[in-house]
Structures are given as C-alpha cells and as structure tokens.
Amino acid sequence: MHAFLEALAHPLQKEAKALRALILEVSSDVLEEIKWNAPSFRTTEHFATFNLRSREHLRLVLHLGAKVKATAKTGIQVADPSGLVEWLAPDRGLVTVRDTKDFQRQREALQTLLREWIRWV
C-alpha cells in the first residue's frame, strides 16, 4: 500500500497518506490491500475503500463488503454527530476530504465513526 500511495499522482497525496494512517490506527485488526484499483481496508470483510477519481478531493467509501447483506434493506446505525457521512444507501456512505484543513477538522470524528462502522463487518 505504501508503494501505491508513493506513486499516486494526486494533488491530495499527502492527505491520502494521512487518511490511510488514521484508518490503520482505528484498530489493530485493520488490514489493507489494493482492491477495486484503490486502497481498501478490512477486518473480517472490507469496510472502506478510497475513491481517488476526483482531483479536487478524496473520498472514502464506507461499505460492508462486496456481498449484499440484510443491512442493504434494514440499514445500519452509526453515530455521525459531525455530519461526515453522505448516505448513498442504508448501509453505504461517503466521506469527503477536501484539503489538509478539512482532514484535520474531521480527524477525531472520523476515527470515532470508523470505530463504530467496523463493528458492522
């Protein structure tokens, strides 16, 4: 993963590295790999994947693995008092990081959110 991010030609490469480090700090159970042509993170299943298509921001897609689960209909409950998540589906969300300042502002809330999120995988 380190080599992937070092070779990443993205204006927010520094923020991508910081986001990766934040995700790995959430739990010692978090593993990483390249999946779907982007950094992806898992415990028992994948739960978050970078979306690096935009040059203007980073996006972190929060999901519950590749297979459809009952939560696709029932949804999940995670606390998001900072309003970081843009809900794409009942069990899929998107967090956007626009720049370093935005990342620093979101850092603590994002770690809390990710700790709750991984309880669902």
Ordered per-residue pLDDT tens for the chain, 121 residues: 678 888 888 999 999 999 999 999 999 999 999 988 899 999 999 999 999 999 999 999 999 876 667 677 778 889 898 999 999 999 999 999 999 999 999 999 999 999 999 998 8
Q: What is the pTM of this model?
A: 0.91
Residue 6: the pLDDT is 86
Q: What per-residue confidence (pLDDT) applies to 112?
A: 95
Contacts of 63 by beta carbon, 8 Å cutoff, 6+ apart: 46, 47, 48, 49, 91, 92
Contacts of residue 31, Cβ cutoff 8 Å, sequence gap at least 6: 41, 42, 43
DSSP state of 36: T
**Residue 61: DSSP 8-state:** E
pLDDT of residue 66: 67
Residues 19/32, Cβ–Cβ less than 8 Å: no
